[in-house]
Amino acid sequence: KEGKLLGMEFLRHFHVYLDYPEQEISLVPIRAKPQRGSFPLAPFLDEQVVIVGVLNSLLPEEYQHLEIGDEILSVNGQSIPQPATKDDFCTVIEAMQTDCVDLVIRDKGEVRICRKAIPGH
């Protein structure tokens, strides 16, 4: 919020979300009507561990305890092997092509994450 990076002021006028199945990063004007849903978190493969790599403002209040870097242990009841491979990470991404995903997060328990419409103002 305090940063002075080139282009950051421009991005404040958009909702930014990642669509892994479509391999897209989308900018939706804040004042636009919701058109697509997005997950409030995105996974990331970090040193052979699948972690929560992105959290956004769509995260429900009951999951505000999640943090970037939390380890994802399973997706839809399927355990993620340790160490995780790129194929294991792709399994997580494929599971996120649905509307809801059940995850188990180390030390935080089970969470059910569903796509939500990006709000317009």
Per-residue pLDDT of the chain (121 residues; tens, 9 = 90+): 455 666 667 777 777 777 766 677 777 677 755 555 788 889 999 999 999 998 888 888 899 999 999 999 999 999 999 999 999 998 898 888 888 999 999 999 999 999 887 665 3
CA distances for 38 relative to 25, 80, 99, 115, angstroms: 11, 23, 9, 5
Q: What pLDDT sits at residue 121?
A: 34
H-type helices in the chain, by residue range? 8-11, 86-95
Residues 6+ apart with CB under 8 A from 97: 21
Contacts of 91 (CB under 8 A, 6+ apart): 75, 78, 80
Is the pTM here over 0.85, yes or no?
A: no
